[in-house]
Amino acid sequence: MLGSRPRARRCGPPRSAEAGEAAMQVLVADGLGEEGLARLREAGEVIVRSGLAEADLAALLPGADALIIRSGTRVSSAALGGAPRLRVIARAGVGVDNIDVDAATRRGILVLNTPESSTIAAAEHTMAMLLALVRRIPQAHAALTAGRWIREPYTGTELAGKTLGIIGLGKIGSEVARRAVAFDMRVLAHDPYVTEERARRLGVELGAWEEVLRRSDVLTLHVPLAENTQALIG
């Protein structure tokens, strides 16, 4: 009827598996918050096992429809070979270098990650490490806990006016740049995939690899682990 309002329907828990149909099983192989586990339990059976060796993981995978991991679990091609029901591997984090993505793809297993889940935390941690470095906070703390109150050796230096070099101006690198600019630092970055326009919006100057190394007072790297990014420094 025109003008009538649709009635809201209450969404209850998912229907239980029909006779003969196995309930969905989710294997959580690394730490996950209780709130997340509760939501998973609404959808099916949840098995939580942390600190699994490869053989132990392989022994649990045959009954799993989904696998959730962090960085502590390595998912190899051999482990996936005995997982006929597995349809998805979810990495609660950014990198997927601990998953054999090619092997998963060949078996039709979807690999997911959460690329922005730790962006702010990583950027803030970078700034914390930067401040600890230039202000010599760990050394000052060690001296104080040893009963020595010595100020002069641990005065450090200011970030304002210094040049921060950023290798990799992706999500984390961009957030680091924003915070460095707020500290009145000059920010110089190298990233072949970032345009001059985007760099200008961040208040960042783009430069070649050698130029960034030469001009920077402090250097921070925010690149994914790949063959062309290994051993970038040293």
**Residue located via tokens 């999500």:** 171
Domain end residue (candidates: 78, 113, 148): 113
Question: Is the separation of the CB atoms in 49 and 64 below 8 Å?
Answer: no
Question: Could you give the CA distance from residue 189 to residue 177 in angstroms, rounded to a whole number?
Answer: 9
> Are 79 and 155 part of one and the same domain?
no
For residue 184, tell me if it sits in a domain.
yes
Per-residue pLDDT of the chain (234 residues; tens, 9 = 90+): 334 333 333 333 444 445 455 689 999 999 888 999 999 999 899 999 999 999 999 999 999 999 999 989 999 999 999 999 999 999 998 889 899 999 999 999 999 999 888 899 999 999 999 999 999 999 999 999 999 998 888 989 999 999 999 999 999 999 999 999 999 999 999 999 999 999 999 999 999 999 999 999 999 999 987 788 888 886
Question: Rounded to whole angstroms, how far apart are CA atoms 223 and 208?
Answer: 16
Q: Give every CB contact of residue 65 below 8 A, 6+ residues apart in sequence.
A: 24, 25, 26, 44, 85, 86, 87, 88
Q: How far apart are the C-alpha atoms of 183 and 233, rounded to whole Å? A: 26
DSSP 8-state class, residue 23: P
- CA 56 to each of CA 32, 51, 73, 78, 86: distance values in angstroms, whole numbers, following the listed order: 19, 9, 11, 12, 16
pTM (global) more than 0.75: no
Could you tell me if residue 5 is inside a domain? no
Same domain? For 63 and 148 the reply is: no
- Whole domain around residue 217: which residue ranges? 119-221
